[in-house]
Amino acid sequence: MAQIRKATGIVDWLDQRLAVHKLLDVLMVKYWIPKQINFLWAMGVILTTLFTVLFITGLLLVMYYKPDTALAFDSVNKTIMQEVEYGWLWRHMHGVAASVIFLIIYIHMLTGIYYGSYKKGREMIWISGMLLFVVFSAEAFSGYMLPWGQMSYWAAQVITNLFGGIPFIGDALVVWIRGDYAVSDPTLTRFFMLHVCLLPIVIIGIIAFHFYSLRIPHVNNEIAEELDFDLEAEKYMSGDTKNSKVIPFWPAFLAKDFMYISLFMIFFFYLVCFKFNFAMDPINFDPADALKTPAHIYPEWYFLWSYEVLRGFFFDIGGIKAFDIGLAAFGIAQVIFFLLPWLDRSDVVKPAHERPLFFIWFWVLLIDLIVLTIYGKLPPTGVNAWVGFAASLVFLLLLLVVLPVITILERKGAKS
């Protein structure tokens, strides 16, 4: 047992028992971050903040929400939105944060892609991040069902139906997921369980893993410079803070992030109080009605690009049904980003503007994703269907063919 002396204060008392100084050193004070970074490196902390907002407002909402098809709609729209003191605020914050968190996730992902932060030792950061994205998607989908409005119901209907396309077990799988032959009360209850219990636990676990995975390969920087972190840290600790290429997580990195969060929150609460329809679809203020199909069914904006890949293949090709091709393409779209570190065959870690072909590829991909997103909401008729088809095809080609080819060329060019 360690030597316990009479403590000089609370911190010392804790330090003797929990080694808080050592812990803070490891987690904060001697956790080194490159200095050469821009505001895009603040997205991780903004995401953590938004997740915290979702977690806390979610706890408040669960106190009044009723996961029962007969009570859910009124418990949200009457009890929470009108009767509970500031219930509207918690709900709007929850709904808007759920939508905005995806915007930040996409910026975070695209930053990683642009600066090549997914390879050469950083694969596990990328994979754990992608895992977070997928589980967050499930969390968002299950949460969207809870108010039991028209869009909740019909989105659940459409999305659960997709699993029916899986060969052999499809039909049974759909019933297993719904807990009934149709989307109904047991469906709502089980998605409630997923949303407030299982998925949050999984998310917290993966977040911890995501943070841990950063420690060994370290955070990338704006010029993708390979740093000797031990050497730079020594420089910093010896007092040469100006010439050291690293900064400590606390206070330097967090001081910067805290500034970005404060600024971001002005924008966030503007959305919460004045501009929330994008995150809280008006149609969902109509109670769920199994007999009345809404004129247009569409997912939330952050699912539109993959939804459009699903819808993009709208005609049979070579005897294979359009639905099956779409489903396969959708399946590929869901997992393809996991493989990014291996689809990129080049071992160059540099920002995209220093990799000419990759640079073009990046912007074409971004534009294609935006086209998919916009056309994913429009009715798939006439020209729209063809735009969706072309954009879906471009998406698959970009990732499956173009990226490997240009990065192989890059590698060969670098050698000669």
Partner 1 sequence: MRELKIFLVVVVFTALVYWGVEPYAHSVMKPHVAPANFDFQQEDLSFANSIVATKQADLELAKAENNESKIEAAQKALDLANEKLQKNQALWDKVSKMDFSKADASKGAEFFSSNCIACHGLEAAGIAPTIPDSSIYGVLPPDLSGAGLLYDEKFLAALIMNPSLALKVDHKFGDAFIMTAYNVDVSGESEEVTDANIINVIAYLKEVAMQHKADLEQKTKAELEARYAKIEGISEEQKAALIEKDMVFAKEKNTFIEACGRCHSMKYDGLVATSNSSDLKGYLGSIPPDLSMMIRSRGEEYLNNFLNNTQKLLPGTAMPRVGLNEASQKEILAYMEKIGDSKKEERESTGLYIMLFFVILSIFAIAWKRSVWSKLH
- With respect to partner 1, which residue has the nearer C-beta, 43 or 329? 43
Q: What single-letter DSSP state applies at residue 251?
A: I
Which pairs from 19-26 meet CB under 8 Å and 24+ separation? 24/250
Shortest CB 30 distance to partner 1, Å: 16
- With respect to partner 1, which residue has the nearer C-beta, 202 or 366? 366
Shortest CB 338 distance to partner 1, Å: 23
Phi/psi at 240 (5° precision) = -85, 65
Q: Which is nearest to 56 in space by CA: 96, 90, 82, 88?
A: 90
What is the number of other CB atoms lying within 10 angstroms of the CB of residue 196? 19
Shortest CB 389 distance to partner 1, Å: 18
- With respect to partner 1, which residue has the nearer C-beta, 285 or 323? 285
Shortest CB 61 distance to partner 1, Å: 15
User: At CA 357, angle to CA 38 and CA 396, rounded to 5?
Assistant: 95
Q: How close are the terminal C-alpha atoms of the chain, in Å?
A: 61
| Radius of gyration for the chain, computed over Cα atoms and rounded to the nearest angstrom | 24
Shortest CB 89 distance to partner 1, Å: 7
- With respect to partner 1, which residue has the nearer C-beta, 242 or 415? 242
263/39 Cα distance (integer angstroms): 12
- With respect to partner 1, which residue has the nearer C-beta, 109 or 199? 109
Shortest CB 7 distance to partner 1, Å: 30
- With respect to partner 1, which residue has the nearer C-beta, 287 or 331? 287
- With respect to partner 1, which residue has the nearer C-beta, 81 or 340? 81
Shortest CB 282 distance to partner 1, Å: 5
Helix axes 356-377, 383-397, angle to 10 degrees: 150
Q: Which residue ranges make up the site for partner 1 (CB under 8 A)?
A: 35, 38-40, 74, 77-78, 81-82, 86, 88-89, 92, 103, 107, 241-242, 247, 251-252, 255-256, 258-259, 261-263, 265-266, 269-270, 272-274, 277-278, 282-287, 295-296, 301, 304, 366, 370, 373-374, 377-379
Distances (CA, A) of 63 to 76, 118, 182, 186: 11, 40, 28, 20
Shortest CB 264 distance to partner 1, Å: 9
Exposure string for 107-137, b = 16+ CB within 10 A, e = fewer = ebbbbbbbbbbbbbebbbbbbbbbbbbebbb
- With respect to partner 1, which residue has the nearer C-beta, 165 or 312? 312
With contact defined as beta carbons under 8 Å apart, do 129 and 112 qualify? Answer: yes
